[in-house]
Amino acid sequence: MTAILFDLDNFKKVNDRYGHAAGDTLLKAFAENLSRSTRGSDVAARYGGDEFVALLPDCKPDDVQFILKRLNGLRVDVGGGMLPVSYSAGWANYIPGESAEDLLKRADAELYINKRASKVHAIV
């Protein structure tokens, strides 16, 4: 089992600049793209705010990159202009005996390491 956490980059700026309707459109588009990027046995959901989670049973560590690549290049129409969507992600593989909470905490820690390391934020 692999858990991937996603955080949309600069989401607050989208709401501030384009309005909450544009932010809602962006959230829906990302959710739909995430759902299409995962397998039928996977679970993908909004985790809260601008964060999403994907739970991937029987996922090999190298397969995570395939899902991430499928999410790249998303653009959303906000009032006639195409807005590129970028995200940060962190993932962790289940350790036998570990709680779901601990698995998600490890994925969250990786997410924020990757978010801080990223210099490019394509939204806005």
Q: Identify residue 79 by its one-letter amino acid code.
A: G
Angle between the N-to-C axes of helices 64-71 and 20-37, in degrees from 0 to 180, rounded to the nearest 10: 140
Q: Other C-beta atoms within 10 Å of 64: how many? A: 17
63 has catalytic annotation: no
Indicate which residue of 7, 9, 42, 50 is catalytic. 50
The residues, ordered by sequence, that sit 6+ positions from 25 with a Cβ below 8 Å of its Cβ are 76, 77, 78
Which active-site residues does the annotation give?
50
